[in-house]
Amino acid sequence: MQKTIVLTLNKDYRRLYYKGKSAVDPALVTYALRNRIPGQNRIGITVTKKIGKAVIRNRCKRVIRAAYRLLEPQLPEGWDFIFVARGKTANIKSTDLIPVMKKQIESLTKKNQDAASPKKKQEKKSREPQA
């Protein structure tokens, strides 16, 4: 089982917001970016006051953590994730959030893996005069 670390530094959040890729759903926004820590994922959860009072915001965080915990064994290692709660997160169960989160993470990690894979450079043929 992989170990997950919680993001605590503001610079880590800013790095993900500016350089990371995002996926949007009515219940959740996910930001993802590769980290330099092999074998470990780092997560951060953000819930704004727009969602509701403290009780509702804490419930949103619990639901997101529970969904992530159930998905964690299936996730690729070496990634930073930020989950931003949206309006529908307050009324959703963690079991309903799992497919949304899984779809977002798969799309974000697949995009980055495709971009990181080395592409074969096509050599340009020089036009030499044929004798």
Which residue, among 127, 125, 18, has the nearest Cα to 82 in the 3D structure? 18
Q: What's the pLDDT tens digit per position in 66-124? A: 999 999 999 999 999 999 999 999 999 999 999 999 999 999 998 656 555 444 444 45
Report pLDDT for 38: 84
Report pLDDT for 120: 46
Output 4 or 128, whichever has higher pLDDT: 4
Report pLDDT for 112: 59
Report pLDDT for 37: 86
Report pLDDT for 61: 96
Cα 32 to Cα 79: distance, rounded to the nearest angstrom: 7
Domain ranges for the chain: 3-113
Cα atoms in the 13 Å half-sphere on the side-chain side of 88: 10
DSSP secondary structure letters along 63-125: HHHHHHHHHGGGSPSSEEEEEEE-GGGGG--HHHHHHHHHHHHHHHHHHHHHHHSPPPPPPPP
CATH of 3-113 among 3.30.230.10, 3.40.50.720, 3.40.50.10490, 3.40.50.300? 3.30.230.10
pTM reported for the whole predicted model: 0.82
Other Cβ atoms closer than 10 A to 69:
11
Q: What's the pLDDT tens digit per position in 39-73? A: 899 999 999 999 999 999 999 999 999 999 999 99
Report pLDDT for 126: 53
